[in-house]
Chain A
Amino acid sequence: MEPLSKSLQENLDWLTASFGNTADCYTKKIRIAGVECAVCLLDGLGNLEKTWEMLLKRIGIQPLLGMNGEKLLAYIMEKSDYPTEKTPIRDREDLIFRLTAGMTVILLEGCDKALALGTQVMPYRAIAAPSTEGNVRGSQEAFTELLRVNVSLIRRLIRTTDLCVEYAQLGQRSRTEYALCYNQKLVPKALLNQTRETLQKVRIPFLLDSAYLVPFLRKGPFHLFSGMGNTERPAVAAAKICEGKIVILVNGSPFALVLPTFFAEHFESLDDYSTTALFASVIRLVKYIAFFLAILLPAVYVMAVRFLPEALPYQLLTIIAKGEADTPFPITLEMLLVLVVLEIIREAGLRMPKQLGHSVTLVAAVIIGDTAVKAGIMSVPVITVAAIAAIAMYVIPSLYEQITLLRLGFVLLAGYLGVAGLAAGLFFLAVMICGDAQGYPYTFPIVPWNRSVVRDGVLRRSWRVLARNDYTLGDVEQEDTP
């Protein structure tokens, strides 16, 4: 780290050279108590008006006998009412860090340290309801883009001394700030150290979202399921921290990364804990059924029609045969086409301007849903099966990517290789699910079997039981090797 120079001009020259001709870097020389100083801030991040209000009060002070840069810095830090930071700036890296954090920096002649004043003013999006995690009851707050605000949202929910927040920076070109939040009493130390070390070693040009960190934190060979989840709800993040997990927040991203996240947790939602235990358990089971329907239904349909028609009831077989007789494509290709078209419609609905939303709905419903069937390009049973699978997928939005890939893979395998293809696909799925999540079994608490399955896993017990036996990550045994 390069220290600051005692020469004010040298420091200013370095600052100007570093930022180049950027218009938002504000620097102005002034004299305080007879000492030559320079005010520096990044316009928009720091409040220029507030800065000058403070400074104007001091500029008129008569020069004191024997005053120099060092003494003035000590005076302002210890005896003035300036909102100074706890420690002065000593090196150039820290100078840039404080400036980009929105602080006002005062460089002083004859002093190799600088003052940092808390004059941040950062406009940010208001805290709104989550856009990707819907729920009926419970908190309706979502994270926003500003890191400090997000941390404060969690802090507001966990008002104990156990919550610990560590700040650091990542990204050679962006120097993005991120925060590691955890409960210092509950988090497994090995997991914390491993995560901290991994993040320190990350080399990435820029960091715009917490999801960028997933491949670095996920070790080992290719895995479809990362063992990490994300949430935009401070309430969920706080609950995970209280379970001993680690939450990573990245400045500029409203999504927090939670690690580790187990497979069963994708089927849980905040509402589960607000409804009755019985209803929550039933809903969770429905979600598991939806997951397998979303992945397997098109594949089983294609396999049954192509290889095992005798397994289908006569009436159903007749309907399918009628539909297929009029379509030009083989069943596997037809199903793949419908699935790809559904993905195209979804992607179009997601990316296009909202004003055009009605057009896409109209085109999808009328042209694909109706005209394609009438024209004999696609059959009604195939579209029905694909539609059921698509709707089932939206029950577990956090597994959307995996379900989409697996569904296409399963249709290909079962459509061209029959029962053995389906079995091979299931084996692959099982292998992927049986991975690990930061050293913990991803399938916990289903495999290895743990009574948490019926306590708060696949099923949920009432709060009276949950409160009696509090679950934390420390209760999960880490992996062993024979």
Chain B
Amino acid sequence: MKGKNSFSLLCLVSGLGSLYFRMPRQLPAQAALLVGVWQSILLYFVLRLVRKAGKDWKSSALVRGLLAFSFLFTASVDLLDLNRFYQSAYPNQLHGWLLGILLLGAAGMMTGGELRTLKHLTRLMFPLLGISLALLTLSCAGLFHTSNLTAWEGTEILREAFSLRDLIPWPEYLALALWGSREGTAPLFWVPAARTGISAFILTLAELALGDRGARWPAHSLSLLGQLSVFNRLEWIQITVWLLLLMTRLAFLIYLAGRLTENFPWWINTAAIWTGFLCLSMLDATRVWAVQRAVLWGTAGIILIRGLCRWEDPLKHWRSALR
């Protein structure tokens, strides 16, 4: 296994980590799939960012600072999304600040360890995810009715679906462009596909079982399901797995921030994420996401303007494959 491959896998799990808690759209499953494909195409173009040969981006304090800030900010927003979801799913179970300490503590501990542990953990997440999705399907298979599938219609839903709101240049992809090379990045092609596939899969399951009676959040829809004999509800298994994925993502972001701010120990970055999370929790979710988009696009823009990255021909791979 080449090192660059592992880095790409980390990005993949990292991308999946925030997926579950970021699916508030009430879209029919087919529309979700369509949106997923559209976003995958756009994301594929983002992933074609590569470092310009001979450019030493590490000497630029501005770029390093911006990237580090992007990592920490993204981690804070992820934690915020998770907390909002968690409090709505399990009200009064755990205070937000304690949840933050718990998850960041676990994630931070890992960055205090070795990177190879992080890589192995990433690989372990795929079978876990697969098993949990299989359990989920089994648990509600008895409720599936194809008549529940709703056809999407109207331009409003399409307009919302194709808005660029959710197209974000995630900072770990920028990191890959700056640190990594194009060798061994094949798994990266699976990033958009996996995101799309899982998103559409969960929405389809909820829709097959509940039709348009499903809750706004997929996880809430899932909590209404469950046919296994031992437990009436199995959504906690799903949520546990997604929490694991999110912790892996947090650990990865803390690790990346640590590589940029070598003078700071991991716990300072962890504390910064937690503080950011507490501050952002006072704001409205849509405003926070807008700020996040601005920060991440701004970082990507500055990196491009300074000539540190360039876009590789996105169709080169396909052309060579066709030849």
Residues in chain A within 8 A of chain B (CB atoms): 220-221, 304, 307-308, 310-313, 417-424, 426-428, 430-431, 433-436, 441-443, 446-449, 477, 479-482
B179: A residues at CB distance < 8 A: 482
B120: A residues at CB distance < 8 A: 434, 441-443, 447-448
With contact pairs A423-B244, A427-B247 given, residues A312 and B232 touching in the complex (Cβ less than 8 Å): yes
A479 contact from B112, B116, B124, Cβ within 8 A: B116
Report yes or no: B90 in contact with A427, Cβ–Cβ below 8 A: no
Output the least CB separation between A309 and chain B (Å): 10
B99: A residues at CB distance < 8 A: 420
Report yes or no: A480 in contact with B90, Cβ–Cβ below 8 A: no
B112: A residues at CB distance < 8 A: 221
Q: In the complex, A166 Cα to B307 Cα: how many Å?
A: 59
Q: Does B59 contact A (CB under 8 A)?
A: no
Q: Could you pull out 8 A-B pairs where Cβ atoms are within 8 angstroms?
A: A307-B90, A308-B236, A419-B243, A420-B103, A424-B247, A435-B117, A441-B116, A448-B123
Q: In the complex, A98 Cα to B288 Cα: how many Å?
A: 77
Q: In the complex, A449 Cα to B180 Cα: how many Å?
A: 23
Report yes or no: B231 in contact with A312, Cβ–Cβ below 8 A: yes
Q: Does B109 contact A (CB under 8 A)?
A: yes
Output the least CB separation between A241 and chain B (Å): 27
Q: In the complex, A442 Cα to B116 Cα: how many Å?
A: 11
Report yes or no: A422 in contact with B116, Cβ–Cβ below 8 A: no
Report yes or no: A313 in contact with B230, Cβ–Cβ below 8 A: yes
A435: B residues at CB distance < 8 A: 114, 117
Q: In the complex, A482 Cα to B118 Cα: how many Å?
A: 11
Q: Does B168 contact A (CB under 8 A)?
A: no
Report yes or no: B113 in contact with A220, Cβ–Cβ below 8 A: yes
Report yes or no: B233 in contact with A417, Cβ–Cβ below 8 A: no
Contact with A along B238-273 (1 / 0, CB 8 A): 011001100110000000000000000000000000
With contact pairs A420-B102, A427-B107, A443-B124 given, residues A311 and B236 touching in the complex (Cβ less than 8 Å): yes
If A311-B232, A417-B102, A428-B106 are given as contacts, then 8 extra A-B residue pairs at C-beta distance below 8 Å, sorted by A number, are A221-B114, A310-B233, A418-B93, A424-B105, A427-B244, A428-B109, A431-B110, A435-B117
B107: A residues at CB distance < 8 A: 427
Q: In the complex, A51 Cα to B139 Cα: how many Å?
A: 79
Q: In the complex, A449 Cα to B123 Cα: how many Å?
A: 8
Report yes or no: B1 in contact with A418, Cβ–Cβ below 8 A: no
Q: Does B301 contact A (CB under 8 A)?
A: no
Residues in chain B within 8 A of chain A (CB atoms): 1-4, 6-7, 86, 90, 93-94, 98-99, 102-103, 105-107, 109-110, 112-121, 123-124, 179-180, 229-234, 236, 239-240, 243-244, 247-248
Q: Counting chain A CB atoms within 10 Å of each CB, which of B94, B98, B103, B234 scores highest? A: B94
In terms of DSSP, what is the predominant structure of the interface of chain B? helix
Closest to B234 in A: A311
A481 contact from B103, B109, B115, B233, Cβ within 8 A: B115
With contact pairs A310-B232, A417-B94 given, residues A427 and B116 touching in the complex (Cβ less than 8 Å): no
A417 contact from B1, B98, B229, Cβ within 8 A: B98
With contact pairs A424-B247, A426-B244 given, residues A221 and B113 touching in the complex (Cβ less than 8 Å): yes
Report yes or no: A482 in contact with B102, Cβ–Cβ below 8 A: no
Report yes or no: B113 in contact with A431, Cβ–Cβ below 8 A: yes
Report yes or no: B121 in contact with A482, Cβ–Cβ below 8 A: no
Q: In the complex, A441 Cα to B115 Cα: how many Å?
A: 12
Closest to A223 in B: B113
Report yes or no: A419 in contact with B90, Cβ–Cβ below 8 A: yes
Output the least CB separation between B111 and chain A (Å): 10
Q: In the complex, A427 Cα to B118 Cα: how many Å?
A: 11
Q: In the complex, A108 Cα to B51 Cα: how many Å?
A: 78
Report yes or no: B106 in contact with A482, Cβ–Cβ below 8 A: no
Report yes or no: B114 in contact with A220, Cβ–Cβ below 8 A: yes
Closest to A479 in B: B116
Output the least CB separation between B95 and chain A (Å): 10
Q: Counting chain B CB atoms within 10 Å of each CB, which of A220, A312, A420 scores highest? A: A420
B230: A residues at CB distance < 8 A: 313
Q: Counting chain A CB atoms within 10 Å of each CB, which of B94, B118, B120, B234 scores highest? A: B120
B116: A residues at CB distance < 8 A: 436, 441, 479-481
Output the least CB separation between B157 and chain A (Å): 33
Q: In the complex, A311 Cα to B113 Cα: how many Å?
A: 36
Report yes or no: B232 in contact with A313, Cβ–Cβ below 8 A: yes
Report yes or no: A436 in contact with B114, Cβ–Cβ below 8 A: yes
Q: In the complex, A446 Cα to B115 Cα: how many Å?
A: 18
Report yes or no: A419 in contact with B240, Cβ–Cβ below 8 A: yes
Q: In the complex, A185 Cα to B168 Cα: how many Å?
A: 54
Report yes or no: B232 in contact with A482, Cβ–Cβ below 8 A: no
A419: B residues at CB distance < 8 A: 86, 90, 93, 236, 239-240, 243
Q: In the complex, A415 Cα to B83 Cα: how many Å?
A: 19
B243: A residues at CB distance < 8 A: 419-420, 423-424, 427
Output the least CB separation between B234 and chain A (Å): 8
Closest to A419 in B: B236
Closest to A434 in B: B120
Report yes or no: A481 in contact with B124, Cβ–Cβ below 8 A: no
Q: Counting chain B CB atoms within 10 Å of each CB, which of A417, A433, A434, A448 scores highest? A: A434
Q: In the complex, A428 Cα to B243 Cα: how many Å?
A: 12
With contact pairs A311-B232, A431-B110, A447-B124 given, residues A480 and B3 touching in the complex (Cβ less than 8 Å): yes
B117: A residues at CB distance < 8 A: 431, 434-436
